[in-house]
Amino acid sequence: MASQIYNFEIEMKCEGCASAVKRVLSKLGNAVSAVHTDVDKNTVTVTSTLSEKTILETLQKISKPVKVIH
């Protein structure tokens, strides 16, 4: 599967929250090639060969409200 870019809105109050997002996504290994977090806008952009559903389910593991941005 080719890499896709997915955008999510997730509650992040500080760089610690952003680090938690990056940490949980890093567990997906090489299937995630890039992660960009924006704490001010509460957004995460992920480049991955995995499905949007898989990325969303992974982000939900940090117990913060998260939704897909289309």
The percentage of the chain sitting over the pLDDT mark of 90, rounded to a whole number, equals 97
Counted residue by residue, the chain has a size of: 70
Q: How many domains does the chain have?
A: 1
Dump the DSSP string for the chain.
---EEEEEEE---SHHHHHHHHHHHHTTGGGEEEEEEETTTTEEEEEESS-HHHHHHHHGGG-S-EEEE-
Indicate the pLDDT class of residue 70, thresholds 50, 70 and 90. Answer: confident
CATH code of the domain in which 21 resides: 3.30.70.100
Question: What is the residue range of 60's domain?
Answer: 4-69
Instruction: Please give the model's pTM, rounded to 2 decimal places.
Output: 0.92
pLDDT digits (tens, 9 = 90+) for 8-38: 999 999 999 999 999 999 999 999 999 999 9
**For residue 65, what pLDDT is reported?**
93
Average pLDDT over every residue of 35-64: 97
